[in-house]
Amino acid sequence: MNLAQVLRTAPDAPSAFQSAGQRSAELYADILAVAPGGDGRVDIEAVQSRPSILRRTAALLSEALPPGTDRLVCAGPDGIAVTTALALHTGLPFATVTGGTGGGDEARLTGEAHAGEHTVVVVPLVGTAQDAAPPVLAARKAGMRVSGVLSVLDSSDGSGGSSVADVLQERYDVRFHALFSAFPALPALPAFSTTTDKKEVDPR
């Protein structure tokens, strides 16, 4: 039993401890505080330059990682800060992907990566499914098994008819989970489920 479970069941648990929902709501408010406007635009670099936000973001992202994850993969340079924080929090190694967005350069994976590893792609800010495509494809080209895409903020508004989660599932057969939506009216995405994911147990 972990500390959170103990505190939930203890009759004399101190009220100073926040619930998961309270921690999430407080972090979301702090992230929105650095946004230049209320239309879904968020300065993700400003978010990642604040250690207190980065630390709490990594803690929440870690709770959404599927069991048995071997490595993280992110697209540089935008995803390096939050992925580094998540790696430090979990002890998981990570590799980075450069290129593959708009300029015609093929995505290249750098850093240690091994065929057969179960990996999760980290993309701090997702506006469309294409934002996650280069690291997903680069990881798969290296022989890695991509089980999902994790994001801090989903800034898509659903106006295209299909959600980011639907497109990633249909095109690449990967799950998508964002901590927050820039448009709270949209239904929240569930975290990766340990009962419905294809990889349910640690394969090692």
Beta strands in 6-164 (DSSP E): 71-75, 94-98, 108-110, 118-122, 125-126, 145-154
The reported pTM is 0.77
Neighbours of 88 (CB within 10 A): 12
Counting beta carbons within 10 angstroms of the beta carbon of residue 30, is it exposed (0 to 12), middle (13 to 18) or buried (19 or more)? middle
**Could you read off the pLDDT of 112-135 as tens digits, one per residue?**
999 999 999 999 989 889 999 999
Highest mean pLDDT among 18-32, 104-118, 129-143, 145-159: 129-143
More confident residue, 26 or 204: 26
Are the CB atoms for 127 and 114 separated by under 8 Å? no
**Interatomic CA distance for residues 155 and 123, integer angstroms:** 12
Residue 201 pLDDT? 41
**Could you read off the pLDDT of 59-78 as tens digits, one per residue?**
999 999 999 999 999 988 88
**Interatomic CA distance for residues 151 and 77, integer angstroms:** 15
Output the CA angle 15-17-19, nearest 5 degrees: 105
Q: Residue 202: pLDDT above 50? A: no
Amino acid, res. 101: T
Residue 69 pLDDT? 96
Residue 166 pLDDT? 92
Are the CB atoms for 30 and 85 separated by under 8 Å? no
Average pLDDT of the chain to the nearest whole number: 80
What's the gap between Cα 172 and its chain centre?
16
Q: What are phi and psi of 177, to 5 degrees?
A: -140, 125
Are the CB atoms for 168 and 149 separated by under 8 Å? yes
Residue 37 pLDDT? 55
Q: Residue 7: pLDDT above 50? A: no
**Could you read off the pLDDT of 144-196 as tens digits, one per residue?**
999 999 999 888 876 656 789 999 999 999 999 999 887 764 444 555 644 43
More confident residue, 165 or 5: 165
160 phi-psi bin (left φ>0, alpha ψ -120 to 50, beta other)? alpha
